[in-house]
Structure 1
Amino acid sequence: MSESTTYECMKYRNEGINRALEALRNGKMIQIYDSDTREGETDLVIPAKAVTYKDVKWMRKDAGGLICVAVDPVASKQLRLPLMADIVREASKTSESLGDVVEKDGDLKYDSHSSFSIWVNHRDTRTGIPDLERALTIRKIGEITEKSLSGDGVRFGNEFRTPGHVALLRAAERLLDERMGQTELSVALARMAGITPAMVVCEMLDDENGKALSKENSKEYGKEHGLVFLEGQEIVEAYLQWTGARC
């Protein structure tokens, strides 16, 4: 996309996309459903820099899945965030047991590889697990992502330590051209919104049947709480429009 393209000039054919981008610019929560043929899950999604402890509480109580932060691929490379599978694969050279469990081709039923990186706590936290401390770690991930993309010389280890309680996800290098998971879908939306591309995602689970919350029930929850609900394909189509835009 041309550097002259401004986010304000973009209007999408899909009004849901426009409302979602506006919500994200205002630091609000939205919902993303990936697809029926992938994980078949709806995530609560919010910009990392906007997260408060109340948002962490909301996600752990009403969503119930894993609270992760998806990081832009350019920032991930600059911050030298590794893929967890690569870490374990390297460690397996000296531990046969790790070699037995490291992710291999064909292991995942929904994709070719996982986007998991390391788990971290910010160095200003104590245990890292209370909502207030997780919120701090998440916001700081957003801040360091922004700094790395602005060209500031930052060292990830100066602010974070691992193991920790916030899972990092490293978006695929070519984003939606390579992978269409919640990681890439949320980061693509952040780019389109013109906000820092570090996004919190948390799967919505069903308390009654032990499965992912169905798309229908997720939509109903969204209506009750005033959340924009997007499907992955809607984001893919809007992202194609954005990448080809000339304003």
Structure 2
Amino acid sequence: MPSPDITHEFDTIEDTITAFKNGEFIIVLDSASRENEGDLIIAASDMTSEKMAFMVRHTSGIICTPSPAPYARTSNSPNGRLERRPQPHRLHRQHRCQPPSTTTGISAHDRALACRTLADPEAGPESLRRPGHVFPLRAREGGVRERPGHTEAAEFCSFAAGKPPVGVICEIVEDGEEVAGEAIRKEPGMLRRDGCLAFGKKWGVEARTVLMWRMEDGRWRWMDEGVRGTRERQTNGEDKTEMRVY
């Protein structure tokens, strides 16, 4: 049974943001009453072929790239019509994308390049072609306070770490058990809380929950300046520190 203590075995927010800032994967879990899943999350600007291969190997393989609404409107993201899915899901962009220099777009190299291109402020619409194998998402305005999802958690991490506001997320899966002599696996599924914590320990990946991100995010006030967003952290009534994101 999972520990009733929500902080049990989770990493500190400082360590998690530091890992994200250093280009490492982190694991973010949402509520058991929601999707009850854990996502591998990394900054799109830090994605490499090797990291993409690891992500695809241990996840569902549906690679998504969340970004906040102001950035999505002004960046090189595909200009496809936004499609609203039933609550509580995020906004999907109907077009998948890949760089013109790629072939099928499905390889780890091609998908990593697509992620970095989406995070590149110098890239434009001509830098991507559709369809592809990376799925851009638009984070809900208001972030994790409005929607406690993995999409918004990735946005939070990007801003907190001073990265371009595009993340890469995908749900972690369990392999299930081998069935002798058959090309199938028994009882595969999504990794839940304890499985994600064990996965993080095995691979040295920091783990947090969206609820804890949300609690922390309550101490931040967003001052939207488009892509060059400014956020001001208020630790008490007077003490403030400011971080600009470029």
Instruction: Answer whether TM exceeds 0.5 for this pair.
Output: yes
Q: Deviations over 1:78-109 (max 9, x none)?
A: 237445426xxxxxxxxxxxxxxxx5xxxx4x
List runs of 5+ in structure 2 lacking aligned partners: 1-9, 177-186, 222-232, 235-239, 242-246
User: Please, which of 93, 100, 120 is the counterpart of residue 97 of structure 2?
Assistant: 120
Say if 2:179 is the partner of 1:201: no
What percent of counterpart residues are identical?
27
> What amino acid maps onto 1:73 in structure 2?
A
List runs of 5+ in structure 1 lacking aligned partners: 1-13, 87-102, 148-153
In 1: Cα distance, 2:212 partner to 2:132 partner: 34
Of structures 1 and 2, the one with the larger relative CO (CA 8 A, separation 6+) is 1
In 1: Cα distance, 2:25 partner to 2:11 partner: 17
In 1: Cα distance, 2:61 partner to 2:112 partner: 16
Q: Deviations over 1:136-195 (max 9, x none)?
A: 111111113xx5xxxxxx642x11111111111111122223222111111012112221
User: Please, which of 66, 91, 101 is the counterpart of residue 70 of structure 1?
Assistant: 66
Alignment of 1:3-152 (within 5 A): 16-79=12-75, 81-85=79-83, 103=85, 108=86, 111-117=87-93, 118-144=95-121, 147=122
User: Please, which of 152, 157, 168 is the counterpart of residue 136 of structure 2?
Assistant: 168
How many residues in Structure 1 have an aligned counterpart in Structure 2? Answer: 203
- Given that residues 115 and 183 in structure 1 are in contact (C-alpha distance below 8 angstroms), is that contact kept between their aligned partners in structure 2? no
> What amino acid maps onto 1:121 in structure 2?
Q
In 2: Cα distance, 1:83 partner to 1:211 partner: 32
More strand by share: 2
In 2: Cα distance, 1:39 partner to 1:25 partner: 26
In 2: Cα distance, 1:26 partner to 1:178 partner: 28
Say if 2:153 is the partner of 1:210: no
In 2: Cα distance, 1:210 partner to 1:83 partner: 34
- Given that residues 51 and 138 in structure 1 are in contact (C-alpha distance below 8 angstroms), is that contact kept between their aligned partners in structure 2? yes
Q: Secondary structure at the match of 1:235?
A: helix
Q: Secondary structure at the match of 1:167?
A: strand
> What amino acid maps onto 1:114 in structure 2?
R
The normalised TM-score by structure 1 is 0.76
Say if 2:233 is the partner of 1:237: no
Say what the alpha-carbon RMSD is for the aligned residues.
1.9
Q: Deviations over 1:172-228 (max 9, x none)?
A: 122223222111111012112221111100101122123211210110010111111
User: How far 1:77 moved relative to its partner?
Assistant: 1.8
Q: Deviations over 1:5-62 (max 9, x none)?
A: xxxxxxxxx9611001101111111100011111111001111001111111101112
More helix by share: 1
In 1: Cα distance, 2:175 partner to 2:201 partner: 19
Q: Secondary structure at the match of 1:85?
A: strand
- Given that residues 90 and 138 in structure 2 are in contact (C-alpha distance below 8 angstroms), is that contact kept between their aligned partners in structure 1? no
> What amino acid maps onto 2:118 in structure 1?
I
In 2: Cα distance, 1:184 partner to 1:39 partner: 14
Q: Secondary structure at the match of 2:83?
A: helix
> What amino acid maps onto 1:170 in structure 2?
R
In 2: Cα distance, 1:15 partner to 1:223 partner: 11
The normalised TM-score by structure 2 is 0.76
